[in-house]
């Protein structure tokens, strides 16, 4: 199948192919964005869940659990998950930001082996729409610090496509 673009009329679909309606393509859209409402202290040596995601930018289906600081969608699919943590002071060496799925490490989103003031990144994860959930964790091996507790420490997600 090919799509013909003629430069004047936008996209012209070949005969026999109907253009999807805008409402059909947006139906069931799942998306959320939260950031920290207060700072959080981190100790060194172990992965610590990032919490205090209490300020909502948006949450189209209210699937984000602010009590447990996790995203538990009821629509199965592939999700683009982004997160970041901003520190009030530079960290020691060997730091990472990770996505946990169902309580276990799933992907290290970013790892930096030097002092940093922030970590952020994005990963794609498949969630089943019933029991799967995701959380953000951070680790600093050689220092302690605090998050800034503002828009710079965030957790976002968006449904890319259903299962």
CATH number, domain of 35, equals 2.60.120.40
Q: Is 123 domain-assigned? A: yes
Q: Is 11 domain-assigned? A: no
Task: Give pLDDT, residue 138.
Answer: 92
C-alpha dist (Å) from residue 148 to 41, 88, 135, 151, 157: 9, 5, 19, 8, 21
pLDDT for residue 132 is more than 50: yes
Domain that holds residue 102: 28-162
Q: Which of these ranges, 2-16, 35-49, 112-126, has the smallest mean pLDDT?
A: 2-16
Task: Give pLDDT, residue 161.
Answer: 93
Q: Is 20 domain-assigned? A: no
Q: Is 41 domain-assigned? A: yes
Domain total in the chain: 1
Q: Is 21 domain-assigned? A: no
The confidence band for 12, taking pLDDT boundaries of 50, 70 and 90, is low
H-type alpha helices, the chain: 22-26
- Is residue 157 within 8 A of residue 80, CB to CB? The reply is yes
DSSP designation for 21: P
Q: Is 8 domain-assigned? A: no
pTM of the model: 0.80
The confidence band for 27, taking pLDDT boundaries of 50, 70 and 90, is very low
Q: Is 7 domain-assigned? A: no
Query: Which residues make Cβ contacts (< 8 Å) with residue 136, sequence separation at least 6?
Result: 49, 50, 69, 83, 85, 97, 98, 99, 100, 155
Mean pLDDT of 143-151: 80
Q: Is 6 domain-assigned? A: no
Rounded distance between C-alpha atoms, residue 6 and residue 74, angstroms:
41
The confidence band for 13, taking pLDDT boundaries of 50, 70 and 90, is low
The confidence band for 8, taking pLDDT boundaries of 50, 70 and 90, is low
Task: Give pLDDT, residue 15.
Answer: 62
- Is residue 55 within 8 A of residue 36, CB to CB? The reply is yes
């Amino acid at each position: 199948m090919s799509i013909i673009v003629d430069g004047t009329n936008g996209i012209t679909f070949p005969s026999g192919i109907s253009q999807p309606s805008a409402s059909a393509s947006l139906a069931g859209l799942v998306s959320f964005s939260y950031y920290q409402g207060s700072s959080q202290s981190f100790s060194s040596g172990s992965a610590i869940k990032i919490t205090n995601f209490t300020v909502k930018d948006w949450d189209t289906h209210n699937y984000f659990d602010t009590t447990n600081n996790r995203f538990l969608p009821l629509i199965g699919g592939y999700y683009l998950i982004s997160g970041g943590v901003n520190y009030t002071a530079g960290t020691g060496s060997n730091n990472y930001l990770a996505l946990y799925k169902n309580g276990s490490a799933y992907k290290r989103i970013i790892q930096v082996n030097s002092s940093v003031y922030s970590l952020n990144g994005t990963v794609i994860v498949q969630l089943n729409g019933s029991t799967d959930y995701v959380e953000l964790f951070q680790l600093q091996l050689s220092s302690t610090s605090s998050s800034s507790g503002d828009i710079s420490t965030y957790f976002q997600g968006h449904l890319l496509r259903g299962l």
